[in-house]
Amino acid sequence: MTSPTVLLLGALDTKGAEYAYVRDRLADAGVAAIVVDFGVLDAPTIDADVDRDAVARAGGSDLESLVSAADRGSAMAAMTRGATGVVADLVASGRVQGALALGGTGGTSVAASAFRDLPLGFPRLIVSTAASGNTEQYVGESDLILAPSVVDIAGLNRISLRILANAAAAVAGMVTAAPLPDVEAKPLVAASMFGVTTPAVTRARERLEELGYEVLVFHMTGSGGRAMEALIRQGYIDGVLDLTTTELADDLVGGVFSAGPTRLTAAAETGTPQVVSLGALDMVNFGALGSVPPEFRERTLYEHNSSVTLMRTTAAETAELGATLARRVAASTGSALVALPAGGVSAIAVPGGPFHDPAADAALFDAVRAGLSGSSVRLLESDSDINDPSLAVELADLLDEMISGRSRETSTASTGK
């Protein structure tokens, strides 16, 4: 049986000793390595299996030109392109079963570009000086793992030896782990959830599982919405139960959980069946109470916990949110339905709740109705709040019908509870 192989990607002009050590630790664990060098300016200190000349050519350049130009930015851009192509080819050919890199911000950027878009579940790890900061630019919506290096990757010492040994052991463990058991391939549904919509999504998930689906639930904290949209675009998802569209509010108003301007567009563009609702559009998210921007201090605030403060959206904001949601869903190339829960769009927007605001809700609902008028999107209006279990089951059943192509006699005008 052939030993598993790990790809080691790095700049061997500055980090040769570190890569030699990691390569040896992998060998001790019974794992082979293919070393790829993207260094440019100085001579490599260890040999590579794929040398820098090959990487430069893969990036549409040649090493001699990069060295003579002595422009680090241009050289790194070319080597990033080359490394990305080389890594993709090695993975696609089945020659490597995992990937590991070590780097500062520059090396992390190159390695992340090469690793980030590898198939979901492919083992990959970067030991990085940037791992304890904001890592969104490196990880994106992938399952790439960043491990803090603690000290700079600049020589072997009692700290770096332990960190690098752990990284090698982690990747060796991933590539030698027992295969996952075979599971029944069920159609996949993506569902969006927040704390204030958990009862709805939980009941809908249970119903969808009864109907034979596997449900992936995403937490709508910005990264959750981006990950969900990415998987839809990559073709993993058969249907979307997007009951919690709160990230639109953070994007509009400036909260901390924005998923960016492409939220709620992937299903529409790919024709993936989707059931959408207005979950948690009554709120914008900030951190601890003291972190709320001064211009919002006089607004209706709710301290969800010591780390999260919610701000009630106004009628003007909900009107804009409703128009945005309707516009994006109306562009659907597949079947789509929007549910309006008149009893409240979150657990705290129900009558008696701290975010109960009939005027703001009316502005939201009116904007959705106006934006969907004349479109092929179905509109379901309910007197229930979003967390009503019977509404959750109905929406799950409707999504099932949209995915399977079945139809039933269902009124989309109004359902009283």
**Average confidence (pLDDT) over 189-208:** 97
Of 156, 176, 196, which closes a domain? 176
| Co-location of 95 and 214 in the same domain | no
On the 0-12 / 13-18 / 19+ scale of CB atoms within 10 A, 66 is: buried
DSSP string for residues in 15-53: SHHHHHHHHHHHHHTT-EEEEEE---SS--SS--SB-HH
In a domain, residue 182? The reply is: no
With a cut of 80, say whether residue 417 has pLDDT above it.
no
Q: What is the mean pLDDT of residues 18-31?
A: 97
Does pLDDT of 414 surpass 50?
no
Cβ pair 338, 372 in contact under 8 A: yes
Q: Largest Cα–Cα distance in the chain?
A: 75
Q: Examine residue 253 and state whether it is found in any structural domain, yes or no.
A: yes
- State the average pLDDT over residues 121-150: 91
pLDDT over 80 (residue 85): yes
What is the arithmetic mean of pLDDT over 372-387? 97
- What's the confidence (pLDDT) of residue 137? 87
Is the pLDDT confidence value at 212 over 50? Answer: yes
266/374 same-domain check = yes
Asked if residue 201 and residue 147 are part of one domain, the reply reads no
Closest CA to 106 of 148, 66, 72: 72
Residue 410 located in a structural domain:
no
Position 255 in a domain: yes
Same domain, 86 and 37: yes
% of residues, the chain, pLDDT over 90: 82
pLDDT of 100 over the 80 cut: yes
pLDDT recorded at residue 73: 81
In a domain, 415, yes or no: no
Of 176, 209, 225, which residue constitutes the final position of a domain? 176
Domain shared by 90 and 205, yes or no? no
pLDDT for the residue 1: 55
At 406 the pLDDT is 59
Average pLDDT of the segment spanning 207-230: 95
Q: Which residue has the higher pLDDT, 329 or 223?
A: 329
In a domain, 198, yes or no: yes
Task: Note whether 200 and 247 are same-domain residues.
Answer: yes
Q: How much is the pLDDT for 415?
A: 37
What confidence score (pLDDT) does residue 350 get? Answer: 97
Which residue has 């901390």 as its token pair? 256
User: Do both 170 and 129 map to the same domain?
Assistant: yes
Is 412 inside any structural domain?
A: no
Mean pLDDT of 129-138: 86
Residue span of the structural domain in which 218 resides: 188-404
Edge-to-edge strands of the sheet including 239-244?
214-219, 188-193, 239-244, 274-279, 336-341, 378-382
Name the 3-class secondary structure at 123.
coil
Establish if 238 belongs to a structural domain.
Answer: yes
| Phi and psi at residue 298, to the nearest 5° | -95, 5
What is the rounded CA–CA span in Å between residue 338 and residue 95? 46
Q: Give the mean model confidence (pLDDT) for residues 212-240.
A: 95
- Cα–Cα dist 368/211, whole Å: 30
209 lies in the same domain as 345? yes
Q: Characterize the bridge pairing of strands 5-10 and 98-103.
A: parallel
Length of the chain: 417
CB under 8 Å to 128, separation ≥6 — which residues?
102, 103, 104, 105, 107, 108, 138, 146, 147, 148, 149
pLDDT of residue 287: 93
Domain co-membership, 225 together with 171: no
Same domain (yes/no): 353, 257? yes
Chosen domain end from 176, 201, 222: 176
Contact of 96 with 6, CB cutoff 8 Å: yes
| 394 shares a domain with 287 | yes
pLDDT cut 70: percent of the chain above it: 97
pLDDT at 2: 77
What is the helix (H) or strand (E) element at residue 153, kind and residue range? none
Write down the pLDDT at residue 158. 94
The number of distinct structural domains making up the chain is 2
Print the SS3 string covering 255-318. Answer: CCCCCCCCCCCHHHHHCCCEEEEEECCCEEEECCHHHCCHHHCCCCEEEEECCEEEEECCHHHH
The confidence score (pLDDT) of residue 217 equals 97
pLDDT tens for 392-412 read 999 999 999 999 985 444 333
Distance of CA 125 to the CA centre of its chain: 17
Mean residue pLDDT of the chain comes to 93
Q: Is the pLDDT of residue 42 over 50?
A: yes
Task: Please report the pLDDT score of residue 416 as a whole number.
Answer: 36
Q: What is the CATH number for 164?
A: 3.40.50.12020
Same structural domain for residues 122 and 50?
yes
Poorest-confidence range of 1-5, 136-140, 167-171, 325-329?
Answer: 1-5
- Identify any residues that bridge with 405 across adjacent strands, giving them in sequence order: none
CATH number, position 335: 3.40.50.12030
Evaluate if residue 383 carries a pLDDT over 60: yes
